[in-house]
Structure 1
Amino acid sequence: MLMSITEALSEGDKVTLVGFGTFSTANRAARQAKNPQTGAVMEIPAKTVAKFKPGSKLSEAVK
Structure 2
Amino acid sequence: MGGSNVIFDPLHNSCCDFKVDKNSELSKFSSILECMRRIPIKKALTDQRPVYKSHVEHF
**TM-score scaled by length of structure 2:** 0.28
Max Rg structure: 1
**TM-score scaled by length of structure 1:** 0.27
- Normalized per residue, the structure richer in strand is 1
- Normalized per residue, the structure richer in helix is 2
